[in-house]
Amino acid sequence: MANHEANRISGSLLYYLPECPSENGHFMKSLTEHLVLNLPDRMAFLNITPRVDEIVRKSGVQEGLVLVNAMHITASVFINDDEPGLHEDYRKWLEGLAPFDPSPTRYAHNRTGEDNADAHMKRQIMGREVVVAITKGKLDFGPWEQIFYGEFDGRRPKRVLVKVIGE
């Protein structure tokens, strides 16, 4: 750790790792930022692609990867189409698989004083994180792909980690 150079960029740390040159002589960079999201609904989906894209741009990484992961056990990050009908289908499907029921009769987890067992299950289904390739300084998506934050127990602040690494 002593051999790296770190620069602050508006609250984030951008690391240059000179001890790790790639085959073409470029040095690896790493940038970590946290998005703080507080959605007003219990279940909601938010397209965070523009924010991730801005972090990738700020990192200066031209070739690499970005990890985007929900840092809370009742939230998710996933990739899909930004189409409102699909989002409504997700809501209905997830509610059918793990219906919201705050009572302790349906879910053992709710016997601990919590009321969000369904949110834990919805997160498990939708996933914790995504990794996207960065090519020529841009997110390298397939057609229609976008990055979404999925909230299943909203109305409080939660963090999303965005970690860019590459050269």
Q: Which domains are delineated in the chain?
A: 5-166 (2.60.120.460)
* Each residue's pLDDT expressed in tens, for the chain with a length of 167 residues: 334 445 554 456 665 555 566 677 778 999 999 999 999 999 999 999 999 999 999 999 999 999 999 999 999 999 999 999 999 999 999 999 999 999 999 999 999 999 999 999 999 999 999 999 999 999 999 999 999 999 999 999 999 999 999 99
What is the C-alpha separation between 150 and 39, in angstroms, rounded?
Answer: 10
Contact 134, 62 (CB under 8 A): yes
pLDDT at res. 24: 72
- Each residue of 117-131: pLDDT tens digit? 999 999 999 999 999
Residue 113, phi then psi, degrees to nearest 5:
100, -10
Q: What is the pTM (predicted TM-score) of this model?
A: 0.86
Query: What is the structure's pLDDT at 63?
Result: 98
Q: C-alpha angle with apex 159: 155 to 164, nearest 5 degrees?
A: 150
Per-residue pLDDT at 102: 96
Listed residue (95, 160, 164) closest to 129, CA to CA = 160
- Tokens at 35, concatenated: 């998005």
Q: Which residue in this structure is represented by tokens 């990890």?
A: 67
Q: In sequence order, what are the residues at sequence separation of 6 or more whose Cβ sits closer than 8 angstroms to the Cβ of residue 27?
A: 16, 17, 18, 20, 21, 167
Q: Collect all residues with Cβ–Cβ distance below 8 Å to 124 and sequence separation of at least 6.
A: none
Which pLDDT belongs to residue 13? 61
Residue 67 near residue 56 (C-beta atoms within 8 A): no
